[in-house]
Amino acid sequence: MAASTAPHNPMSAADFANEIRYELKYTQGVTPKEATVDDVYVAAATAVRKHLVDSWETTKQDMVNGNTKAVGYLSAEFLMGRQLQNALLNSGLTEQFDEAVKEFGFEAKDVIDAEYEPGLGNGGLGRLAACFIDSLASLGVPAFGYGIQYQYGIFKQKFDENGKQIETPDYWLLKENPWGHTDYNRQVHVSFGGEVKDGKWAPAWSVRAIPVDYMVPGYASGRVNTLRLWTAKAENELDLLTFNKSEYTEAVAEQIKAETITKILYPEDSTKVGKQLRLEQQYFFVAASIQDAIRTFYPGQDKPDLTTFPQKICFQLNDTHPVIGIAELMRVLLDDYGYDWNTAWDITSHTFNYTCHTLLPEALEQWPVELISELLPRHMQIIEEIDRHFVEELKGLTTDQEKIDRMRIISTDDEPKVRMAYLATAAGQHVNGVAELHSELLKDVTLKDFSDLYPQKFTNVTNGVTPRRFVKIANPRMSDLITEGLGTDAWISDLEMLKGLVPLADDPEFVKKFAEVKKANKRDFAAFAKRKYGFDVDPNTMFNSMIKRLHEYKRQALKILSVISTYANIKSGKINPDDLVPRTVFFGAKAAPGYYLAKQTIQLINNVSRVVNNDPAVKGKLAVYFPWNYNIELAENLIPATDLDEQISQAGKEASGTGNMKFALNGALTVGTLDGANVEIRNLVGAENFFLFGMDVNEVTDLYAKGYDTKGLSRGYYESDPDLKQAIDMVADGTFSNGDKDTYKDLVNDWLTKDYFMTLADFRSYMDIQSKIEETYRDEQKWARMAVLNVANSGYFSSDRSIKDYLDRVWMTGAMPAHEA
Ligand code: GPU
């Protein structure tokens, strides 16, 4: 038996069943006989939550009474995934649970499945926040996650009979939410609008911000942190006078206006959406969080000494969404607590740090001065003052007036805007990118002026993923094998230990077992896909997955064109299907509802899937599936079953990627470009264990310089590559639209005239790497060995390591002592 460091609760399964029975009776009022699977899920969740309460309480106390600076992770998104399995793992109750639920007539799997996944995030940025708070708790760092409890999360995706994406609301709170505790006693108020009188803000309206608290249990740390998500409620629910006049709608107008603030998550990902409501959301949650932090760290104090604030907590700005918090903390210090400008600035600038998650200039938020002035007039004044001080400072650093203008926080054009990334960079102590390449490009391109003058602010923290959810829970078979191989399960909280698997890559017995684990996972996935989607997936094929938001820069188009090309070549006889490695291609992707070309791409993929999967000519050789509504649950099921992972963004566009890390850690090989964290993955796992293709950043830059997108150079690639031409022609000629030639005309037209992300330019290189992939895959032992080496060398991509890097490079704090108070 391997030594275990995993959390263990001495409670018996029978006792845990008693606790479930207790909750069924006293919390839900149902008898075990009546209890449905949903009831048992809620009861089990409530019971396991109680096992975490003591640690939660001491963690909160130690955080306030101790001397370790806390981290406030401010994020508009937390894409948490389901909670029950993670809570069971961290409270050491997994096995007891598996046994106990049987008493109520259910399988553990079905109870786990009863949980509805909250979708309070769009994609990578939101999931990263969730991984980070898991690691903060697991490392024993005092931390709060602060965000928004949206009533509607990311839309639910369906496909209509034509393969088009349909968005339906995600009414997640219709199901019981045993994890969130609404704490009406800790509500605060947040104001908006109005005007500035005598230097003081006289707001026009305000709302209540009510916290919903989630426990964030650490793995084997004895710590439980808090995720505090704010929900908006009206100051006055109902205007009784109006109501009594039977004007019912008017009577609830205020309630509607207030609740609208936290009604819905903007389904945009990596794009700038300039909407007043979005600014309201941003201000709402950061203003509430700042009040909350002051109240937490200076309990009961009317006139706290806030010059110590930066020693109590530092706020991490997860992209630009919470950046208005800088102006808010200044306002609080100046107006509510009467500090002078310099003192307030000193406190504020030592409190915030900023993480940038993009390179796309269009994704950097800029708020029109007019809008901020209307919604937050005092904050606009303060931002103007920050801008003025900043210009003064710049004058001391450079004589280049153009540079100063370029760097101004408020743009100097006809429609002045506040550049939130610049505000964050000017005010924060540190700015970081999310992968080495990204951080370099931030310094050299996106924020070059700033890094020239403030090089000491810039640093890199490469992203990571939590090994608890994405290895231990998602891939139990592989986890057991790793534990067997290493003789301990300590790797779960010290992921670099996976290095110990390197020698086992040359142990045929181990490699064989590893390959068997993958096969079993594929069979599991096939069963899951049948159950959930009705798909008939052949587990004896190569599983090839591309799961991420649908975005042109990520280039799902490149993948689907390659599939079409293979299909066409089989049909035409150019390829003998018996020479192909049988392959099943999976896509998972949501498109922003207003993103036209992304939605056309979804439609195309669905129709390629329909045509290919129904064509006897390719049966058993090629299949394409597009499970709808890609979410964390699907990721947890598909990643452990995947052989080949696609990370094929145009070089220089994907800030990091985190799916790539999850795949490598689960023994999938990557086909990818030199983009984002791919670069680091390839360096660590070894170039020979990674399928590299495509242009690098310099080649991309050169091709732009030649006028690729402006002079229509993509057409040359189309004309000169018969495979590419054939594939695009097939899209244009109606093969995937029942003969209709118009369905994809805008997509095709974009490819042939602009193709900004150079899909066509990278096509040949992408097709060429496929033969190498197939040749490698045919040698089962070789492929499995490479997969083992991917796992063994990917320990670096634990979010525990990311958090340690933040602690050292950005936050300058650490874990709480076991008992600090
Ligand atoms: N990312 Br900006 C998002 O998911 N949403 C955003 O609005 C912005 C960035 C992603 C990056 O695209 C991805 O490369 C990165 O891995 C992730 O953030 C976490 O840093």
194-213 per-position pLDDT tens digit: 999 999 999 999 999 999 99
User: Is 290 a domain residue?
Assistant: yes
**Number of domains comprising the chain:** 2
What ipTM describes this predicted complex?
0.98
* Distance from the alpha carbon of residue 631 to the mean position of ligand 1, in angstroms: 16
Which of 247-251, 528-532, 587-591, 735-739 is the least confident region? 247-251
Q: Which of 122, 127, 269, 362 to mutate to test the pocket of ligand 1 (most atoms within 8 A of CB)?
A: 269
The Cα 567–Cα 569 span in angstroms is 5
The question of whether 772 is a catalytic residue gets the answer no
The mean pLDDT of the chain is 97
- What would the mean pLDDT of 330-357 be, rounded to a whole number? 98
Tell me, yes or no, if 574 is annotated catalytic.
Answer: no
Cβ atoms 443, 794 nearer than 8 A: no
Q: Tell me, yes or no, whether 95 lies in a domain.
A: no
CA of 128 to the centre of ligand 1 (A): 9
Residue 357 located in a structural domain: yes
CA distance linking residue 11 with residue 9, whole number of Å: 5
CA distance 674 to 670: 11
Judge whether 332 and 290 are in contact, CB under 8 Å: yes
DSSP 301: -
Check whether residue 482 and residue 378 sit in a common domain: no
Residue 1: predicted pLDDT: 53
Q: Is the pLDDT of residue 603 over 60?
A: yes
Q: Is the same domain home to 445 and 557?
A: no
Residue 499 in domain: yes
Whether the pLDDT of residue 241 is over 90: the answer is no
Residues 379 and 400 in one domain: yes
What CATH number is associated with residue 602? Answer: 3.40.50.2000
Distance 270 CA to ligand 1 centre (A): 6
pLDDT confidence band for 591 (50 / 70 / 90): very high
Backbone angles phi, psi at 326, to 5 degrees: -65, -50
Strand partners, 417: 368
Taking only the tens place, the pLDDT of each residue in 96-108 is 999 999 999 999 9
Give the burial class of 514: count Cβ atoms within 10 A of its Cβ; 0-12 exposed, 13-18 middle, 19 or more buried.
buried
Kindly report, residue by residue over 635-646, the tens digit of the pLDDT: 999 999 999 999
Please tell me whether residues 506 and 381 are part of one structural domain. Answer: no
User: Model confidence at 648, in pLDDT bands (50, 70, 90)?
Assistant: very high
Residue 650 lies in a domain: yes
Whether 446 and 501 map to the same domain: the answer is: no
What pLDDT sits at residue 249?
Answer: 86
Computed from CA positions of residues 593, 598, 601, 606, in that sequence, does the dihedral angle turn out positive or negative? negative
Let me know if 745 is a catalytic residue.
no
- Percentage of residues in the chain having pLDDT higher than 90: 95
Q: Does pLDDT of 134 surpass 90?
A: yes
Q: Is the pLDDT of residue 819 over 70?
A: no
Indicate whether 662 belongs to any domain: yes
In the predicted structure, residue 821 carries a pLDDT above the cut 50: no
- For 4-37, b/e burial (b = at least 16 CB within 10 A) is eebbebebebeebbebbbebbeeebebebeebeb
* Same domain flag for 434 and 456: yes
Q: Would the pTM of this model clear 0.95, i.e. be above it?
A: yes
> What residues are paired with 587 via a beta bridge?
546
HEC assignment per residue over 382-412:
HHHHHHHHHHHHHHHHCCCHHHHHHHCCECC
Q: Are residues 199 and 175 in the same domain?
A: yes
| Residue 392 maps to a domain | yes
Q: Which residues of 117-139 are buried (b: 16+ CB within 10 A; e: fewer)?
A: bbbbbbbbbbbbbbbbbbbbbbb
Residue-level pLDDT at 610: 98
Residues 731 and 584 in one domain: yes
pLDDT band with cut points at 50, 70 and 90 for residue 443: very high
In a domain, 361, yes or no: yes
Residue 239: is its pLDDT beyond 80? Answer: no
Q: What percent of the chain has pLDDT over 70?
A: 99
pLDDT at 597 exceeding the cut of 90 = yes
Phi, psi of 721 (to 5 degrees): -120, 105
- DSSP-based three-state secondary structure for 352: strand
Looking at the structure, tell me whether residues 443 and 529 fall in a common domain: no
Which residue range(s) make up the domain with 192? 67-81+117-463+805-810
Top mutation candidate among 358, 550, 661 for ligand 1, by most atoms within 8 Å of CB: 358
Asked if the model's pLDDT at residue 372 lies above 60, the reply is: yes
Mutation choice for ligand 1 from 73, 270, 590, CB with most ligand atoms inside 8 A:
270
532-536 contact pairs (CB < 8 A, 24+): 532/627, 533/625, 533/627, 533/628, 535/625, 535/627
Is 556 touching ligand 1 by the criterion CB < 6 Å?
no
DSSP string over 183-224: -GGG-EEEEE--EEETTEEE-SEEEEEEEEEEEEEPSSSS-E
Asked whether residue 136 falls in the same domain as residue 280, the answer is yes
Whether residue 480 has pLDDT greater than 90: yes
Q: Which two tokens stand for residue 477?
A: 């078979």
Checking if the pLDDT of 244 tops 90, the result is no
Residues 447 and 494 in one domain: no
Can you tell me the mean pLDDT for 339-366? Answer: 96
Q: Which tens digit of pLDDT belongs to each residue from 696-734?
A: 999 999 999 999 999 999 999 999 999 999 999 999 999
Residues 326/105, Cβ–Cβ less than 8 Å: no
The verdict on 433 and 485 lying in the same domain is no
Q: Crossing angle, helix 420-427 and helix 324-331, to 10 degrees?
A: 50
